[in-house]
Copies of this chain bind each other. A is one copy, B any other.
Amino acid sequence: MPEKKADIHRVFHALGDPTRRIIMEKLSAGPISVSHLATPLKITLAAVVQHLQVLEESGLVRTEKIGRVRTCSIDPVGLLVAEQWIADRRSTWEKRLDRLGDLLAESDEA
C-alpha cells in the first residue's frame, strides 16, 4: 500500500530538494520508469529510489510496479496541497491589503 499522507509538512519538505523538483518536472511530462528517471541525473539509482520514497510518502508521486519495472507518475494530490497552502497565505495577505485600502479611502473622505 502506498504511503499517502500529503500533509503540508511532507509536501513542502519534499519540494525543498532540487533533485526532487527535477524529478517532478520530468514526471509532469508523463509516466516513466525508475531507471529512465535516474539516467540523466548524476546520482545512483539507489539515491533516486530514496527520493521517490519521499515523493510518494508526501503524495506528490504515485508508483506502480508491473513485473520488474516500477512506473512513476505525478500524483496531483500533493501539488494541490502545496498550491492550496500558498493560495491561503496570499489570500489572507491580500484581504488585509484590501481592508487597509478601505481605511485609507475612508480617511481621504474625511
A residues with a Cβ closer than 8 A to B are: 8-9, 12-13, 15-18, 21, 24-25, 27-30, 74, 76, 79, 82-83, 85-90, 92-93, 96
Contacts and interface: CB of A to CB of B under 8 A. Distances in A.
A92 B29 contact: yes
A28 B76 contact: no
Nearest to A20: B12
Q: Is the interface of A mostly helix, strand, loop or mixed?
A: helix
A51 B69 CA distance: 42
A67 B15 CA distance: 38
Nearest to A95: B28
Contacts of A28: 88-90, 92-93, 96
A8 B30 CA distance: 22
A40 to B, nearest CB: 17
Given A15-B16, A29-B92, A79-B93, 13 more contacts: A8-B21, A9-B18, A21-B85, A24-B89, A25-B89, A27-B93, A28-B89, A29-B96, A74-B93, A76-B90, A76-B93, A82-B82, A82-B86
